Amino acid sequence: MEATPFFNRGPSPLAKLVIFSLLSIAMMLTDAYFSYLNPVRQAISFLMHPLEEAVTEPFRFYPTISHFFVTHGEIVKENQDLRSRELLQAAKLTRMAALEMENRHLRTLLQIRETLHSPSIAAEIIHTGQDPFVQRVLIDKGTVHNVSDGDAVMDNTGIIGQVTRAMPLDSEVTLITDKDQTTPVESLQSGIRGIVVGHGGDNELEIPFMPVNTAIKEGDWFVTSGIDGVYPRGIPVAIVTRVERNAAYAFARITCRPVAGPNRYRQVLVVGPDQPQLRPSKPGATLSHAARPAQP
Report if residue 35 touches other proteins, rule: CB under 8 A. Answer: no
CA distance 187 to 193: 6
Report if residue 134 touches other proteins, rule: CB under 8 A. Answer: yes
Q: Which of 91, 94, 136, 225 binds other proteins (CB under 8 A)?
A: 136
153 in Cβ contact with 267 (< 8 Å)? no
**Segment interacting with other proteins, rule: CB under 8 A, options 19-27, 216-224, 234-242, 278-286:** 19-27
Q: Within 188-247, which residues bind other proteins (CB under 8 A)? A: 199-201
CA distance 243 to 240: 7
In the complex with other proteins, the residue whose CB is nearer, 114 or 131, is 131
In the complex with other proteins, the residue whose CB is nearer, 200 or 229, is 200
* DSSP letter assigned to residue 27: H
Among 206, 211, 192, 193, smallest CA distance to 249 is for 211
The nearest distance, CB 273 to other proteins, in angstroms, is: 23
Q: Which of 8, 54, 106, 289 binds other proteins (CB under 8 A)?
A: 54
The nearest distance, CB 60 to other proteins, in angstroms, is: 9
CA distance 156 to 262: 11
186 in Cβ contact with 208 (< 8 Å)? no
H-helix or E-strand spanning residue 238: strand 236-244
Among 240, 237, 250, smallest CA distance to 160 is for 237
The nearest distance, CB 264 to other proteins, in angstroms, is: 12
**Segment interacting with other proteins, rule: CB under 8 A, options 34-42, 99-107, 183-191, 275-283:** 34-42
The nearest distance, CB 23 to other proteins, in angstroms, is: 7
CA distance 71 to 66: 9
In the complex with other proteins, the residue whose CB is nearer, 198 or 232, is 198
Q: Which of 37, 82, 96, 287 binds other proteins (CB under 8 A)?
A: 37
174 in Cβ contact with 164 (< 8 Å)? yes
Site string (67-106) toward other proteins, x via CB under 8 A: ----------------------------------------
Site string (137-176) toward other proteins, x via CB under 8 A: -x--------------------------x------x----
Among 184, 198, 210, 194, smallest CA distance to 262 is for 198
The nearest distance, CB 20 to other proteins, in angstroms, is: 4
3-state secondary structure of 280: coil
> Residue 245, Cβ neighbours under 10 Å: how many?
14
Q: What is the DSSP string of 68-102?
A: HTTS-HHHHHHHHHHHHHHHHHHHHHHHHHHHHHH
Binding-residue total with other proteins (CB under 8 A): 49
CA distance 97 to 270: 20
In the complex with other proteins, the residue whose CB is nearer, 123 or 216, is 123
Q: In Å, how far are 6, 271, 290, 291 from 282, measured between CA atoms?
A: 68, 23, 13, 15
Contact residues: other proteins, CB under 8 A = 2-3, 5, 13-14, 16-17, 20-21, 23-28, 30-32, 37, 40-41, 44-45, 48, 51-52, 54-56, 59, 126-134, 136, 138, 165, 172, 179-180, 199-201, 263
